[in-house]
Chains A and B, each alone.
Chain A
């Protein structure tokens, strides 16, 4: 596809369940970012992957959150034992180089609702 895609577009889960969110970046983009946007808040950085380097996990809010990027392409964000405060829109972005000076191309997001 031409742009960043994310799946599912919507996810409703019960508190305590695990969820996996998927991101397909633009082909050839070496850098991939995960952000989340809670209601009334700005986008909050979660994690950053660049090539084969160790990811920058400094934005992950707790050890219930983890992310992988397989083969330098697709990424999965996993939230274990979901809590109601995890409800947010989770956005993925990719870019050609590792610097955020380049515009980041965002996917449409996954809206997560934890009941």
Chain B
């Protein structure tokens, strides 16, 4: 059973525009969420996180929104840059481990 779902396998955005990556989860006990970014042949790197007691966290061009009632979170990147092209993973903290979604491939076109 997939507890963390990223339903869009890929997303293509024009440079300068906003990228919105979505993530849904099923376990209401998850209390901390993270986004990771992965380039080919590299391990994922931490991007931004949010606690379930908040509904928004912002870090530069990256903002994560959390809607607990809908069990939904999203990552906004604005403005998008070609260097943002990567795979983005949503993850939820489950005790000692992270539960990951399948990832969304973001392509930012220049």
Contacts and interface: CB of A to CB of B under 8 A. Distances in A.
Interface in A39-53: 40-45, 48, 50
Interface in A42-90: 42-45, 48, 50, 56, 59
Nearest to A31: B96
Is the interface on chain A under 10, 10 to 19, 20 to 34, or 35 or more residues? 20 to 34
A35 B101 CA distance: 13
Given A45-B97, A91-B43, 17 more contacts: A44-B100, A45-B99, A50-B96, A56-B96, A98-B96, A100-B93, A100-B94, A100-B95, A100-B96, A101-B49, A103-B49, A105-B43, A105-B46, A106-B43, A106-B44, A107-B43, A108-B42
Interface in B41-55: 41-46, 49
What DSSP secondary structure best describes chain B's contact surface? strand
Interface of B: 2, 4, 6, 32, 34, 36, 41-46, 49, 89, 91, 93-103
A93 interface: yes
A84 B49 CA distance: 35
B4 A42 contact: yes
B34 A43 contact: no
Contact of A99 (B43, B96, B101): B96
Nearest to B4: A42
A100 B100 CA distance: 12
B97 A33 contact: yes
Contact of B98 (A50, A104, A107, A108): A104
- Of residues B6, B34, B96, B103, which shows the largest number of chain A Cβ atoms within 10 Å of its Cβ? B96
A4 interface: yes
Contact of A56 (B4, B41, B91, B97): B97
A47 B100 CA distance: 14
Given A42-B4, A103-B34, A103-B49, A4 B97 contact: no
A98 B102 CA distance: 24
